[in-house]
Structure 1
Amino acid sequence: MRTVSDMLAFAVTGGMLHFELTATYEIFTAPQLDYRVQICGDGPVRLGKFTLEPDLPLDQLKRAHTVIVPAIADVDEPIDEALVEAVRNAHDEGARIVSLCTGAFVLAEAGLLDALRATTHWAHTDELARRYPRVEVDPDVLYVDNGQVLTSAGKAAAIDLSLHLIRGDHGTATANTAARRLVVPPHRDGGQAQFVLAPVPSDGGHPLTELFDWASKRLDQTLTVEDMARQANMSSRHLARLFKAVTGTTPLQWLHTQRIRRAQQLLEMTDDSVDQIAGASGMGTATTLRRHFHRTVGVPPDTYRRTFRPVGGR
């Protein structure tokens, strides 16, 4: 177990999202923890409609034992060079570097993820992999712990990774206390799948738009690639090429993803049994649904329902 007595620093710059910063700041400043938390930035820093006055300038990150890089709002904007340099210097001084959501782009820009496995929000994993080909991007996990460098997926995963850090630094009992205070599950393993699956592409200007709509209304039926090709009035081979171009996957894998998404929606919003949901999503039997759902989402359907069911039910 680590001995925690030095500074835990948030590395902030303009254009970051405030949710991950404020949520994890509250976690690490809990009274039962002994982190000396500081916010480092060349301020004042504008975060959406809020303005933040940092405690210390960015170059003081090198004094920290842990540096947390919150999410950046727009991954297409140039990344603050001063932030990248300060994070890299802190890493060189031996600091543990942690990114939340799209903060992974900062770590990748600093070269800290080269030849390492990493993750970010599922909506940006393809761009992270394209821009930084030396990074082994894993889109299907909540967080990745490489020891000195850690990355997480979306907002909830940022909380999961924070509790993971506390568990390693202070032990399970302290992490469980922090989780109870937040009213969140005490432990979700980093290898668990990101719960939100990639949606149907929103751009309606491609030749598969009508087919997507047709198939989505028939998920409770048996559908084959030939059925979809016939509906789209094209050959199965041409359909496969179009699917790859538009969705990055095959027709059958796309169909499987839509069935899992339908099952997720029904688990969240209805009282239907797993058997009923299996039929409505085209999985056939509860056994088949449980097997594919666990393999794809990372937890059984019943666990998913308990986690994501709105308070009070439907």
Structure 2
Amino acid sequence: MHRVAILAYDGVVPFDLSVPIEVFGRARLAGGHPAYEVGVCAAGEEVRAGLVSIRATRDLGWAAGAGTVVVPGVADLDDPVPPVVVDALRAATGRLVSICTGAFVLAAAGVLDGRRATTHWAAAAELARRHPAVDVDPDVLYVDEGSVLTSAGAAAGLDLCLHVVRRDHGAAVAAETARSCVMPLERAGGQAQFIAHEPPAPDGQSMQPLLVWLTENLAAPLTLADIASRAVMSTRSLSRHFRQQTGATPMQWLTRQRVRRAQQLLERTDTPVERVGELVGFTSPTAFRDSFRQVVGVSPRAYRAAFPRDAEARAVTG
């Protein structure tokens, strides 16, 4: 039977720890037989996990022969990764799976170098900063690199574990497992739809006044030449400085801000979808739908359905 070893260590996030226990523990083959042998492994007798302490049923040696080793997230990113955990990951012969900030633990062991990976959107930039050899994708729910798989925030760990079940045993077993967990087998979109609406770049950057102006004029039909004129730069110089400070071209940044504003309107108002696109500066419903789907991962209508408004929401007519 396929062995799943779930690592427990001081500072582990309890929810992240429980997700693989539940998903892999509930998976059943035809006839009702367990699909996995699941065990929680730790170096010591007791592990601190937030407001609770737990006792693992296995030691770290049990993980060495496991077909899958799962690394739950760590609550404090500044806590050093225990050397025994790093050693256990490097010694593992099976595939490695991380949930949420567990990607930092995998990165500390060096197993993410040269690979695409993800983690919680709020920690993605820090993962990229600490481990530049890792290709961090902050927008997806999970990344499957074959022998190494990483997930975004805690709930995305459910998506990834169900994906692993489906990969191992097929869609029917995965669907039944998802039903047992009261989860959809697949969720639309990536974690971009859950990212808090980011403000313009921090004060002190030379582009800050321009970013504020752009944010205040999202509905205007701005071109690159218009933005360069406002910045008193050539379009070439603007594009170079803009990318250095924001990581995007002016038009890419503007599109993302328009989509973020559209997200707010879709969440908080009853304004028709086509009108929302107009209000944030898109020239056609098709351009709005395509840009929204590219940034968020789902259509504007699907996004609105996922974030129902309260009864007092009112249409914006401006």
TM range (shorter): 0.7 to 0.9
What is the DSSP-based 3-state SS (H/G/I as helix, E as strand, rest coil) of the residue aligned with 1:78?
coil
Q: Which amino acid in structure 2 is aligned with residue 168 of structure 1?
A: R
Aligned partners of 1:179 and 1:285: how far apart in 2?
Answer: 39
Q: CA offsets per residue over residues 82-139 of structure 1, 9 Å max, x none? A: 111111112xxx3121011221222222222233322223333344334334433333
Query: Are the aligned partners of 1:269 and 1:313 in contact in 2 as well (CA < 8 Å)?
Result: no
Q: Which amino acid in structure 2 is aligned with residue 171 of structure 1?
A: G
Correspondence for 1:38: 39
| 1:26 lines up with 2:28 in the alignment | no
TM-score, scaled to structure 2: 0.82
Does the C-alpha gap of structure 1 residues 45 and 262 become closer, same or farther in structure 2, counting only changes over 3 Å? same
Correspondence for 2:277: 278
| 1:158 lines up with 2:157 in the alignment | yes
Aligned partners of 1:177 and 1:308: how far apart in 2?
Answer: 27
| 1:78 lines up with 2:77 in the alignment | no
Aligned partners of 2:19 and 2:201: how far apart in 1?
Answer: 30
Shift of 1:241: 5.4
| 1:58 lines up with 2:54 in the alignment | no
1:1-314 superposed matches below 5 A: 5-30=1-26, 32=28, 33-43=34-44, 44-90=46-92, 94-188=93-187, 192=190, 194-197=192-195, 199-200=198-199, 203-225=202-224, 227-228=226-227, 240=239, 243-309=242-308
Shift of 1:156: 2.9
Shift of 1:165: 1.0
Does the C-alpha gap of structure 1 residues 202 and 28 become closer, same or farther in structure 2, counting only changes over 3 Å? farther
Number of equivalences: 306
Aligned partners of 1:38 and 1:155: how far apart in 2?
Answer: 20
Q: In percent, how many aligned pairs have the same letter?
A: 45
Q: CA offsets per residue over residues 268-312 of structure 1, 9 Å max, x none? A: 333222201111221132111111122222222222233343698
Shift of 1:256: 1.1
Does the C-alpha gap of structure 1 residues 19 and 282 become closer, same or farther in structure 2, counting only changes over 3 Å? farther
Does the C-alpha gap of structure 1 residues 76 and 208 become closer, same or farther in structure 2, counting only changes over 3 Å? farther
Does the C-alpha gap of structure 1 residues 210 and 53 become closer, same or farther in structure 2, counting only changes over 3 Å? farther
Uncovered stretches (5+) of structure 2, i.e. residues with no partner: 29-33, 314-318
